[in-house]
Amino acid sequence: MPYAAEGRLSHDPIEGGIEITEQQYQQGLAGMLAGEHVQIVDGQFVVGPLPEPEPEPEPEPTPAEVKALRLALNNGAYETATRALTADYPQMEKDTWPTQDQESRTWLDNPAAPTPWIDRAAAVRGIERDEYLRRTLLKARQFVIMSAWLTGRRQGYEDAIRGGGNPQLDYQLPPEVWQELAALQQTVMGTPTEQLKEALA
C-alpha cells in the first residue's frame, strides 16, 4: 500500500502521511518528475505547483522610523507648497529676480534713481516703467509674506513631530494671509510714488 506525505511518496508507511492508491502513487511520481509538488490538503492527496510561501509580515516601524517618516512627509509637503509660489516662471526669469529686486528697492528709496534693467524690460513689454517697478516690488514683498508663513508652518510641524505629535499637515494659506496680500497690493499699486516708501515702512 503506497503512502504520501507533504513532498514525499513511499510504499512504506510515512509518519504523518496518508494511504493512497497505486494510481495516486503513479500520479504523484509523474507530477514530481514534472516539477510539481505532492501535498496533503485537508487530508486529501493533491499533486500541483509548489505553494507560494506566505510572505513575512512587514515589521512594525520603530518610533524613530515613524518620526523620520513624518518629518520627511512634512518637508515634502513644504517643498510642494513653496515650489508652487514660483512654478509659473522659467528659470531664466528667476535668475533676473535679484536684479529686479535691487532696482525696485533703489527706486523705492529714490524714484529718480536709474533702473536700467527694468527700464528696458518695461519698454519691451509695453508697460510704463512705474508700473513695472510697482509690480516687481509687490511680487517681492508678497513672496516674503508667503514664504515666511510657509516656513514658519513647516518649522511648527517639525517641532510638534519631534515632540511626539502627528499633526495634520496643511499648507494652504489662511484667509488672513490672503487679506494681507490683497491689502499690500492695494498699497503698492495705489499709493503715490512720493508716499510709497513711508506707506511700506
Q: pLDDT tens-digit profile of 128-186?
A: 999 999 999 999 999 999 999 999 999 999 999 999 999 999 999 999 999 999 999 99
Same domain for 116 and 178?
A: yes
Closest Cα partner for 2 from 21, 16, 30, 29? Answer: 21
Same domain for 76 and 159?
A: yes
54 within a domain of the structure (yes/no): no
Cβ(144)–Cβ(108) below 8 Å = no
57 within a domain of the structure (yes/no): no
> Which residues, listed in sequence order, are joined to residue 3 by a DSSP beta bridge?
10, 19
Same domain for 41 and 67?
A: no
Query: pLDDT value at position 27?
Result: 85
56 within a domain of the structure (yes/no): no
Q: pLDDT tens-digit profile of 3-36?
A: 888 888 888 888 888 888 888 888 888 888 888 8
Same domain for 26 and 81?
A: no
Cα–Cα distance list, 17 to 4, 13, 14, 67, 78 (Å): 5, 7, 5, 51, 62
Cβ(106)–Cβ(165) below 8 Å = no
Closest Cα partner for 72 from 151, 170, 157? Answer: 157
Domain encompassing residue 15: 3-48
Neighbours of 6 (CB within 10 A): 12
Same domain for 98 and 157?
A: yes
The percent of residues in the chain predicted with pLDDT above 90, rounded, is 71
169 within a domain of the structure (yes/no): yes
Cβ(108)–Cβ(135) below 8 Å = no
Same domain for 38 and 82?
A: no
67 within a domain of the structure (yes/no): yes
38 within a domain of the structure (yes/no): yes
Q: Is the pTM of this model over 0.75?
A: no
Domain count, the chain: 2
